[in-house]
Amino acid sequence: MQKNSNIAYTRKCCVCNKQLFGRSDKVFCDIHCKNKYHQDVRKHTHSVASNNIKILNRNYVILIQLLGVKGKKITINKLALQELKFDFSTVSGFEKTKLGIKMKVYEISWYYTTHDNIVIFQNNDQRLLSPYVYKRWEMQWQQKQTQTPIELNNYS
């Protein structure tokens, strides 16, 4: 008993450093510190996740714009995609095939082919967005093309 109360004496709340009493597995002094702790963890997780989602969504917009202009399957050089600020390391999934690995950005897939070219195609399970979204992207894409022309290599 003496030992246990000594241990209890040295335990502190990880948020406010207040001394902890009671159960040995207690981490927080009260519900406010517990809430503050979980709020902070959530805030951090959310900011990390939302940053990745932003990159993923930007990738998606780039790919859908390219497909919208050129068709359901296109081939583009890696440098042209880089110029559009496409992030090659951020994907929503992978698909291992006989020919190699296909990267996925939602319902769009892309993979490396010869001479640093990249094939982009839309999967059949495409979900249609609002037509306004496509219209907006189309208009933005046309605007972008007149500002900074991008070389597209369409081999497909």
- In the list 8, 11, 27, 33, the residue contacting Zn ion (rule: CB under 5 A) is 33
Residue 15 lies near Zn ion (rule: CB under 5 A): yes
Query: One-letter amino acid identity for 100?
Result: G
Residue 20 lies near Zn ion (rule: CB under 5 A): no
Give the Cα separation of 62 and 80 in Å (integer).
Answer: 11
Torsion angle in degrees (nearest 10) through CA of 22, 26, 29, 32? -130
Give the Cα separation of 67 and 74 in Å (integer).
Answer: 7
Minimum CB distance to Zn ion smaller for 10 or for 143: 10
Give the closest residue to 63 by CA, choosing from 49, 44, 80.
80
Give the Cα separation of 137 and 131 in Å (integer).
Answer: 10
Residues binding Zn ion: what is the number (CB under 5 A)? 6
Residue 13 lies near Zn ion (rule: CB under 5 A): yes
Minimum CB distance to Zn ion smaller for 29 or for 103: 29
Binding span for Zn ion by CB under 5 A among 26-34, 50-58, 70-78, 84-92? 26-34
Residue 42, helix vs strand vs coil: helix
In what side-by-side order are the strands of the sheet with 117-122?
A: 73-77, 117-122, 108-112, 100-105, 93-97
- In the list 12, 16, 83, 129, the residue contacting Zn ion (rule: CB under 5 A) is 16
Minimum CB distance to Zn ion smaller for 41 or for 133: 41
Residue 29 lies near Zn ion (rule: CB under 5 A): yes
Binding span for Zn ion by CB under 5 A among 25-33, 55-63, 97-105, 132-140? 25-33
Which residues are near Zn ion by CB under 5 A? 13, 15-16, 18, 29, 33
